[in-house]
Amino acid sequence: MKSDKQKEGINAAAALNDKTNSLYSRMLLYAVTDRSWLNGRSLRQDVLSALQGGATMIQLREKELDFQSFLSEAKEIKAVCAQYKVPLIINDNIEIALACGADGVHLGQSDETARNARLKLGKDKIIGISVQTAEQAAAAQQEGADYLGVGAVFATSTKKDADFVSYEVLKSICSSVSIPVCAIGGINKQNIMQLAGSGIDGVALVSAIFVAQDIESECIELLKLSKRMVQA
């Protein structure tokens, strides 16, 4: 008979596997916000349109807002995501994630480690880490990351100083970890199929979604392409 401690360990492992498994499908169309493309629209409306088009996860990325403005916006976006049962991830701000009740955070290599983030957020929150090498990927997984974002896989206007990650490196990252991986950086309808066979579980998109005049229709089309690419 297993001891209570052994049972707790088994239950914890099962819960972790459930979270990881559910994240694979969340990678398919991961929408990352960018207010520079709003053109008079509200961020809430753009996110709602993305969700209506099938976005599988939303990342709220704000670099200029003060804390209170960011928090107010995060709560509003969280409410919209909750309606569609889609996770909201906060970029690079654990305090905002905690305050708004977000589902997790996404952190870069120069931000807090996954281990420190886990201590602050608890075991149930989602932690994503940006990586550019297989070594960084393995380290992030070891520290408790739930998924990885890899890029930039193509030239991108969103982050002009982003390091380029080749197809071969992307493939090596995917084969070096057992957690979900999404690619990011310059991905659009014209080049998404070039990522087929790399082992990624989906794509994170910024301008490919939010520059569109009809965001909902764009997401419907991008989701179909992403599914085809992952299954190829």
Q: What's the CATH number where 92 sits?
A: 3.20.20.70
pLDDT at 194 over 80: yes
What is the spatial distance between Cα 230 and Cα 213, in angstroms, rounded to a whole number?
A: 26
Task: Please indicate, yes or no, if residue 12 is contained in any of the structural domains.
Answer: no
Q: What is the pTM of this model?
A: 0.92
Task: Please indicate, yes or no, if residue 128 is contained in any of the structural domains.
Answer: yes
Task: Please indicate, yes or no, if residue 10 is contained in any of the structural domains.
Answer: no
* Number of domains comprising the chain: 1
Section 76-87 average pLDDT: 98
Task: Please indicate, yes or no, if residue 9 is contained in any of the structural domains.
Answer: no
Instruction: Phi first, then psi: give them for residue 175, nearest 5 degrees.
Output: -80, -10
What is the spatial distance between Cα 20 and Cα 147, in angstroms, rounded to a whole number?
A: 8
Selecting among 19, 35, 61, 224, the annotated active-site residue is 61
Q: Among 14-28, 129-143, 163-177, where is mean pLDDT lowest?
A: 14-28
Task: Please indicate, yes or no, if residue 21 is contained in any of the structural domains.
Answer: no
What whole-number percentage of the chain has pLDDT above 90?
85
Task: Please indicate, yes or no, if residue 1 is contained in any of the structural domains.
Answer: no
Task: Please indicate, yes or no, if residue 43 is contained in any of the structural domains.
Answer: yes
- Residue numbers of the domain that contains 96: 27-231
Selecting among 26, 49, 78, 130, the annotated active-site residue is 130
207 part of the active site: no
159 part of the active site: yes
Task: Please indicate, yes or no, if residue 7 is contained in any of the structural domains.
Answer: no
Instruction: Phi first, then psi: give them for residue 58, nearest 5 degrees.
Output: -120, 135
Selecting among 159, 171, 224, 227, the annotated active-site residue is 159
61 part of the active site: yes
